[in-house]
Amino acid sequence: MLNSFFQDTSGATSIEYGMIGVILSITVFAGAHLIGFKLVNYFGPVANGLN
């Protein structure tokens, strides 16, 4: 019984999908964060000029 438990790899795919999802979400969050800073630096002087 214990031997069949250790040889069962059916749960490995869900763990791998979870890891891929975490990596993608971190990448998207970091990219959005960097784009946000660039947009603030680009449009900041425009907004200050309008005020």
Domain residue ranges in the chain:
15-45
pLDDT band at 35 (very low <50, low <70, confident <90, very high): very high
What is the C-alpha separation between 51 and 41, in angstroms, rounded? 16
pLDDT band at 7 (very low <50, low <70, confident <90, very high): confident
Average pLDDT rounded to a whole number, residues 7-33: 86
Average pLDDT rounded to a whole number, residues 1-26: 80
Q: What is the pLDDT of residue 28?
A: 96
Look at residue 23 and tell me whether its pLDDT is greater than 90: yes
